[in-house]
Amino acid sequence: MSDHYAFSISIQLRSDITDAELAAVRYLVDGEGSPPTELPDHEYFSGGLPAESISQVYRDFELGNFLSRSWCNRNPEGIIWDVGVHLYLPGQKLEGVYGDPFALAQWLATLSASVGCIGSIVCEDDNLGIPTLLFAYKRELHMATFAGDGSIRSVATGDAYLSSDG
């Protein structure tokens, strides 16, 4: 039997998010509204929208066993002042984690107002719970595993954000 992993992120997004970006977040994360016709310019959307939103993928899970929510707060004039995403996706095979959820996190990192640790990937079956940590830095997704050299590296470029060398 192969291991299952939990993927989680909590990320605050830029308040200058475009209408197209917000519509895509709402559809992909919350399953709200119709599929957006105007897609953001990012590799995540190069093949169009995923076949299902996260809430559709997890529709057979009991309520509370997964979390897929976004929030968007506006002032009385309608200007966004706080927007973000919370995801907790359990029961994923490793290839599933590094598929759509990971690609979604890479796109969300480009919209990030957060700097620092935004989430993790944890094996649910190994009784160790040693996470791979996910970081947002300079609007890129970075990750750190504790099995390697202890560095935090950009997913896109491999450049070090922090390394054990200082």
Q: Does the pLDDT at position 155 exceed 80?
A: no
The structure's pTM equals 0.85
* Nearest CA-CA partner of 25 in 92, 79, 100, 83: 83
The C-alpha angle with vertex 103 and arms to 100 and 106, in degrees rounded to 5, equals 150
Strand partners, 112: 13
Token pair 């504790």: residue: 146
The domain of 125 spans 5-162
Q: Does the pLDDT at position 164 exceed 80?
A: no
The C-alpha angle with vertex 91 and arms to 87 and 96, in degrees rounded to 5, equals 80
40-91 tens-digit pLDDT:
999 999 999 988 888 888 888 877 788 899 999 989 998 888 999 999 998 8
* Count: domains in the chain: 1
